[in-house]
Each structure stands twice: as structure tokens, then as C-alpha cells.
Structure 1
Amino acid sequence: MKKIILMGRSECGKTTLRQALKGDTIHYHKTQYVNHYDVVIDTPGEYAENHTLSRALALYSYEADVVGLLISATESYSLYPPCVTAMSTRPVIGIVTQIDHKNGKPAQAEEWLRLAGCDIVFHVSSYTGEGIWQILDYLREDGELLPWDEKTAQQPRNVLSTKN
């Protein structure tokens, strides 16, 4: 599985997405420092919000295979300048979070991510699970089986041909 670093402002859903990607129980947890997990690097929102701290994001991105720029569907503005993805030496994907929020505007959030330079944009709800498997599929390495692949591989081949 490719390692991803999650970047975005405070409360945009980075830690919640990390919990959903790992299949953990969703609960609020304030990220106060950079956390390294097996395939996810979770960063504090203050790093993206503060010009001085944002330099650390550039350094930590070298430890990942993919950069994930997150923006909530509930945002009223974007932190990301146009074409910011050109600054990265890693592939950068956009992730629109909180798409199930009643006041969310996922299409607007996607436009901001595309303006930032993201060619690939995922829409996710960490609570309903919508879009989570698409991110996992994107992060999958060649030949790697994910949990739903393993279940399919374990089913007998002749189960579908039981009609008489």
C-alpha cells in the first residue's frame, strides 16, 4: 500500500479519514503533532494554516508516496493557492470530505482542489464510508489484495453456477 500524507486545515477531516481508511471506530481526536501510521501520515491543521509551520509539510511529504490535499465540503474558502501541486515531487490527489453534510458544497470544494492542481479528486464521507474504498484502491500497490479482494478470492468458483 502506498503511504499517503494528509494535509488540510483544522477540522477538515484528516484524522477522521485516517480512522476510516484503517477501519477504526470514528471518534474525535485533536492531532497536535505529525503522526506516522503504517500507511498514513496525519498532520495538524495548523501546519497548513500557518506560513511558518507549512514548511514542515514539505519536509514530511518526502516520507510519503502520495500527498492528499483535503478540503471540507463545508468550507467557505480554500487555503490552497492555484497550481500549488506543482511544488510537490509526489503525486497529489484531492479529497473532498464531509460530503454528506447538509450545508456542504462538494462541487465547489472540488473546483478549489482542481484549481490547486489536483487532477484526481475523491469525494468521501468517513461516517457513511462513501468513497473510502476508492482511495484505498488508488493507494493499492500492484498485486496487493485488499480485504474485499480476499473475500472474493476465498469464495468457491462454482457458487454462481448453482441454477438448475
Structure 2
Amino acid sequence: MKKMILVGRSECGKTTLRQALKGKKIHYKKTQYINYYDVIIDTPGEYAENAGLARALALYAYESDVVALLLSSTEPYSLYPPCVSGVCSRPVIGIVTQIDDPDGDVEQAVAWLELTGCERIFKVSSYTGEGIWEILEYLRDDGDVLPWDKKEDAEKPRDVLSTKHMVAV
């Protein structure tokens, strides 16, 4: 799988998304420092919120294959400046989190991520599993076997697979 760095402000859902992508039980865990996992680099929100710490994000972006800008659907503003993806030498994707929140505005978050220049935008709910498999498909390299590729699931269309199958990586 391609290695992805998760960037976003505090409490936008970076660690929760990482847990969902890995098929782990979701529980709150404050990220205090950069966590370097096998295919995911999870960063503290403070690194994106403070210019002095943001330099570390640039360094870790070089360790990844894909840069993911996360934005919660409940955000009152965008942390990212327009066209910011142009300064990155990696593909930049956008991920709208918390799409199942009744107070969220998914379309506003999508519009803000479009302004950054993201090449693709995913809408996800880490709790329901919606959109998780699309990110996994995007990160897939040749030869990667994902849970829904197993022979027993080969006849099932991807959109009707249970959440358990989609996030069990």
C-alpha cells in the first residue's frame, strides 16, 4: 500500500480515521507526537495549526507517497490556504471526516478542499465505515490483497459489503 500522511487540525479525525483504516476498535487517543505506522503517518493537529511546527509536516511528507489533508464537516473555517497542494511534491488528496454529524456541512468542507487543489476528495465516516474502502482502494499498490478481494467475497459488489469487511485491514 502507498504510505499516507494525515494532516489536519486537532480533533478533525486523523487518529480515528487511522483506527478505521486499520480495522481497529475506535477510541479517543490524543496524538502527542508524530506516529509513524507501517503505511500511515499520524500527526498532531498542533503541527498544522502552528507555523513553527508545520516544518515537521513538510519533512514527514517526504516519507510518504500521498499527503492527505483532513477537514471535518463541522469545521467553521478551513485551515488550508488556496492552492497549497502546489507546494507538495506528492499527490495531495482531501478527506472530509465526520460526514455523519448532523451539525456538519459536507459540501462546504468539500469546497474548501477543492480550493487547496486536492486531486481527489473522499467523504468518510470512521464510525459507520462509509468511504473507508474508497481510500483503501486509492492507496492500493499492485499485488495488494484487500479484505473484499478474498474468494468468498468475489461475487459481492463492493458497495454491499459489510462495514466489517471494508475496514478489516
TM-score by length of 1: 0.92
Q: Structure 1 residues 15, 151: closer, same or farther in 2, change over 3 A? A: farther
Aligned to 1:138: 138
CA distance in 2 between partners of 1:35 and 1:83 (Å):
27
Aligned to 1:149: 149
Aligned pair 1:53/2:45, yes or no? no
CA distance in 2 between partners of 1:23 and 1:125 (Å):
13
How far does the alpha carbon of each residue in 1:26-75 deviate from its partner, in whole angstroms, 9 at most, with x for none? 00000000001110000000000001000110000000000000000000
Pick the structure with greater CA Rg.
1
CA distance in 2 between partners of 1:105 and 1:152 (Å):
38
CA distance in 1 between partners of 2:118 and 2:107 (Å):
14
- Whichever residue aligns with residue 60 of structure 1, its letter is Y
Give the fraction of aligned pairs with identical amino acids, expressed as a percent.
Answer: 70
How far does the alpha carbon of each residue in 1:95-119 deviate from its partner, in whole angstroms, 9 at most, with x for none? 0000000100000000000001112
Aligned to 1:83: 83
Higher mean Cα deviation, 113-122 or 142-151?
A: 142-151
Aligned to 1:106: 106
- Whichever residue aligns with residue 112 of structure 2, its letter is W
- The answer to whether the 8 Å contact 2:83/2:116 transfers is yes
Q: CA deviation at 1:143?
A: 2.7
Aligned to 1:43: 43
Higher mean Cα deviation, 136-145 or 125-134?
A: 136-145
Give the unaligned 5+ runs of structure 1: 156-164
- The answer to whether the 8 Å contact 2:91/2:119 transfers is no
- Whichever residue aligns with residue 13 of structure 1, its letter is G
- The answer to whether the 8 Å contact 2:148/2:154 transfers is no
Q: CA deviation at 1:144?
A: 1.7
CA distance in 2 between partners of 1:86 and 1:154 (Å):
39
Q: Provide the secondary structure at the position in 2 that maps to 1:109.
A: helix
CA distance in 2 between partners of 1:67 and 1:118 (Å):
9
Give the unaligned 5+ runs of structure 2: 156-169
Aligned to 1:97: 97
Q: Structure 1 residues 26, 153: closer, same or farther in 2, change over 3 A? A: closer
